[in-house]
Amino acid sequence: MSSIWPVLHYDDTTTALRFLVEVFGFREIIAVADDDNDIVHAEVGWPGGGCIVFGSTKHTDSVHGAMKPGTSAVYVVTADVDAAHERVRRAQDAAVVQAPNHTRFGSGAETYAFTAADPEGNLWTFGTYRGTATR
């Protein structure tokens, strides 16, 4: 079995962890802090499967060290788009970029989805589209 884990970088990893868990609904798997108590590595899991890995822009000595915050986009499959949207809408530090809507992705498949931005500008689309490989 294999899976894909996107890697993101944040200037403020503590805020990112709190946001991903409390607003988006991920669950914290691990958060490792450095000597300054800044999170240098974190993993969060989506209830329906899959994980996101993220680290701090403060640490530039790794292969991911040059990654800039706020330049990524992540798609998250969910059966309950409206519940995810409501959770994001209620959060004071979340920005809904596109409200829930019925649309077609590039593959031509229909989906119900919305897009939100996290505090550092990464875009997160939550939708019902599961991909053509899962049909």
Which tens digits make up the pLDDT trace of 9-38? Answer: 999 999 999 999 999 999 999 999 999 998
Based on its alpha-carbon atoms, the radius of gyration of the chain, rounded to whole angstroms, reads: 15
**Residues in the chain with pLDDT values less than 50:** 135
Q: Specify which residues 53 forms β-bridges with.
A: 7, 43
Instruction: Report the distance separating Cα 130 and Cα 78, nearest Å.
Output: 9
Report the pLDDT value the prediction gives residue 64, as an integer from 0 to 100: 76
- Whether the Cβ atoms of residue 14 and residue 34 lie closer than 8 Å to each other: no
Q: What are phi and psi of 22, to 5 degrees?
A: -75, -35
- Whether the Cβ atoms of residue 102 and residue 110 lie closer than 8 Å to each other: yes
Report the pLDDT value the prediction gives residue 1, as an integer from 0 to 100: 55
Helix (H) or strand (E) holding 104, with range, is strand 95-104
Domains located in the chain, CATH noted: 7-134 (3.10.180.10)
- Sheet containing 110-117: give its strands across: 73-77, 123-127, 110-117, 95-104
